Structure 1
Amino acid sequence: MKNSFINLHIFDSLYKTEYLFILVFIVFAIFLSGIIIFLSYFLSVQNPETEKLSTYECGFEPYEDSRHKFNINFYIIAILFIVFDIEAMFLFPWTIMLSTLDITGFWSMIDFIVELGIGFLYLLYVKGLDWQ
């Protein structure tokens, strides 16, 4: 019994050591990012002009202010594109590994596809894609 306790203690020590390296790496990355942002802000030349701050329209003078409201449907289409793009990203490796997967891997992906299909049918039902 005492021997198994020692093995668990060694495992716990190794477990903490592995996460310590990850923690040190994250702290170092945050510190280095902060230093780079700090240096770029204070060492850059701050010379804003009206020409630099205006919108670029292929060499023409801007016709109107470019900061106007967009229709919310553009955002909905963008979010749907991201969702179905992620679905495609999951489907490609699944189809490649389909012959080596067990029944759990097969049905979990079928469940994923069905849930996305139900979400898409609900979106059609509430007319989320109709322009008003």
Structure 2
Amino acid sequence: MFLISKYNYFWLFLLLASLIPPVASPISSYSAPVGKGPEKFTSYESGIEPIGDAWIQFQIRYYMFASVFVISDAETVSLYPWAMCFNELGVPASAEASISVTIPIVGSVYAWRRGASEWS
């Protein structure tokens, strides 16, 4: 038998979660201090006065390492549920997971051989 009362806590949580942002935003805008001045528009560098322009060009290698980091994190997050249900899923899921792990490894080896991971 389906009881709607089982979901009362869910609906209460959903209602409270949807009310927090519209209530908190006006409260923070009225209670936050407003400071206007030239210091407001300078970049903060650990308490040191900034020297030069903040718009400098970074090497593309920083972005490549960041993208490798994001891909490996996404791979880890996607493999965690599979690892929790390993016994129930069986061999087909194991084959799919190994393919899912192999593709970024092959891409990393290819990039390494092409010299994408060298700094100079």
Is the shorter-chain TM-score for this pair beyond 0.5, marking a shared fold? yes
After superposition, what is the alpha-carbon deviation per residue over 1:62-106, rounded to whole angstroms, capped at 9, x for unaligned?
122222111111111000000011112224642x322x2422101
Aligned match for 2:57, one of 54, 69, 72: 69
Matches within 5 A, 1:25-64: 48-64=36-52
Aligned match for 1:106, one of 75, 94, 98: 94
Establish whether residue 84 from structure 1 lines up as the match of residue 72 from structure 2.
yes
The CA RMSD measured in Å over matched residues stands at: 3.7
* Rg larger for: 1
Report what 1:118 is aligned to: 106
CA shift at 1:49, angstroms?
2.3
Instruction: Give the gaps of 5 or more residues in structure 1.
Output: 1-32
TM-score of the pair, normalised by structure 2: 0.64
Instruction: Give the gaps of 5 or more residues in structure 2.
Output: 1-20
Number of residue pairs matched by the alignment:
116
| Amino-acid identity (%) | 21
Counterpart residue identity of residue 113, structure 2? Y
